[in-house]
């Protein structure tokens, strides 16, 4: 998932954080940064989880993209820090839960949170979110999203069919078992016009 729509949404909807939102910084780097302006948040893409295809002859695979936001807070007064955490968590939920980061994604959902660390100066809290999309197109007019779709796009168009019928009955008395005798009794054709 692209991070730009998430950062834009958070900057617009989370006034407490202002512009103190970064992307891709891990918790260890945040904890080591002595000049960190707090409160602040860092967004990181975590993982994607794929489910089995929902179709038998096409690739339509649901994918869940997961990301996390780590909040860094001033913990010199633990009570104030945890109260601010409560407020910031609610701000993040209002900003993200139900927000669609892209037309191909479902609405973002909350996946849980946890305290990473707290000491006499700083507290770090992690919140996890996810949104889902489908790998595999819905319409043939859309661009291919998998090798299978690219292969199907390379096939020639179906223009028609000719069917030749070799009937089983009446059975040929020269054969030991009833079955087709190799003589075509009927032929028909059909053309497909778009």
> What SS3 class is residue 52?
coil
Residue keyed to tokens 């794929």: 50
Contact 128, 68 (CB under 8 A): yes
What is the extent of the structural domain holding 170? 161-194
Whether residues 20 and 108 share a domain: the answer is yes
Spell out, as residue ranges, where the chain has pLDDT lower than 50.
none
Q: What are phi and psi of 131, to 5 degrees?
A: -145, 155
Residue 21 belongs to a domain with what CATH number?
A: 3.30.2000.10
In this structure, the answer to whether residues 9 and 69 fall within a common structural domain is yes
- In angstroms, how far is CA 176 from the centroid of its own chain? 60
- pLDDT on residue 194: 63
Give the chain's domain count: 2
Mean of pLDDT over the chain = 87
Same domain, 45 and 116: yes
pLDDT of the residue at 175: 64
Looking at residue 111, what is its pLDDT? Answer: 95
pTM (two decimals) = 0.75
Q: What is the pLDDT of residues 117-136, one digit of tens each?
A: 888 888 899 999 999 999 88
């Amino acid at each position: 998932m692209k991070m730009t729509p998430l950062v834009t949404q958070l900057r617009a909807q989370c006034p407490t954080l202002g512009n103190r939102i970064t992307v891709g910084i891990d918790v260890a780097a945040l904890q080591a940064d002595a000049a960190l302006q707090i409160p602040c948040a860092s967004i990181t893409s975590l993982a994607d989880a794929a489910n089995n295809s929902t179709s038998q002859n096409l690739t339509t695979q649901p994918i869940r993209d997961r990301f996390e936001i780590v909040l860094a807070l001033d913990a010199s007064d633990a009570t104030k820090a945890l109260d601010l955490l409560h407020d910031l968590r609610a701000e993040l939920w209002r900003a993200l839960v139900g927000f669609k980061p892209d037309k191909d994604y479902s609405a973002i959902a909350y996946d849980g949170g946890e305290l990473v660390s707290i000491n006499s100066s700083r507290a770090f809290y992690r919140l996890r979110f996810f949104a889902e999309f489908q790998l595999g197109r819905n319409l043939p007019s859309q661009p291919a999203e998998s090798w299978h779709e690219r292969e199907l796009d390379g096939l020639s168009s179906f223009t028609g069919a000719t069917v030749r019928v070799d009937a089983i009955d009446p059975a040929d008395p020269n054969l030991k078992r009833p079955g087709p005798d190799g003589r075509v009794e009927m032929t028909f054709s059909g053309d497909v016009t778009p």
